[in-house]
Amino acid sequence: MASPITGGEREKLVSKLPASLRQALKIRAAQLQTDVQDAVAAGIEAWRAGTDSLDVIDTAGAESFGTYLPEGLYDEFKQDCQARGVSYIQGLAQAVALWLHQNPADGEQTVRRLIVCNQKGGVGKTAVSAGLAQALAEAGDRVLLIDYDPQGHLSHQLGLKAIPAGEESLITHMLHREQVKESLLSLTVGIEGERFGGRLRILPAAFDAFLLDSGLTVFRGPRHAALERALASVESDFDVIVIDSPPSLGLAMDAGLHYARRRDGERPGASGLVIPVEAEDTSAQAYGMLIQQIDSLSGDFDIEIEQLGLVINKFDSRRGYIATSSRDKWIALGKPPVLTVVPDLKEQREAVRVQRPLLDYAPDCEQSLRLRELARELKKS
Ordered alpha helix ranges (H), the chain: 19-31, 36-49, 73-84, 88-102, 125-138, 153-157, 170-175, 212-217, 226-231, 251-259, 281-301, 321-333, 346-354, 358-361, 366-380
| 2 band by pLDDT with thresholds 50, 70 and 90 | very low
Q: How many CA atoms lie within 13 A of 96 on its CB side?
A: 32
| 157 band by pLDDT with thresholds 50, 70 and 90 | very high
Q: What is the pLDDT of residue 104?
A: 73
Q: Please indicate whether residue 240 or residue 18 has the higher confidence score (pLDDT).
A: 240
Indicate the average pLDDT of the chain: 87
Question: Amino acid letter at 279?
Answer: A
Task: Please give the backbone phi and psi of residue 68, each rounded to the nearest 5 degrees, phi first.
Answer: -120, 140
Contact 108, 236 (CB under 8 A): no
Quick one: which H or E segment has residue 14? Answer: strand 10-17
Q: Which of 98, 115, 91 is nearest to 24 (CA)?
A: 98
Share of the chain above pLDDT 90, in %: 48
Quick one: which H or E segment has residue 63? Answer: strand 63-70
pTM of the predicted model as reported, rounded to 2 decimal places = 0.71
Preceding omega of 336 cis (within 30 degrees of 0):
yes
- Per-residue pLDDT of 254-289, as tens digits, reads 999 999 999 888 888 999 999 998 877 777 788 888
Ordered alpha helix ranges (H), 150-250: 153-157, 170-175, 212-217, 226-231
Q: What is the pLDDT of residue 170?
A: 92
Burial (CB count within 10 angstroms: exposed 0-12, middle 13-18, buried 19+), residue 27: middle
Question: Rg (Cα) of the chain, in Å, rounded?
Answer: 22
Q: How many CA atoms lie within 13 A of 288 on its CB side?
A: 5
- Per-residue pLDDT of 86-123, as tens digits, reads 998 999 999 998 888 888 765 446 799 999 998 887 88
Q: Which of 368, 284, 312, 334 is nearest to 124 (CA)?
A: 312
SS (H, E, C) 255-266: HHHHHCCCCCCC
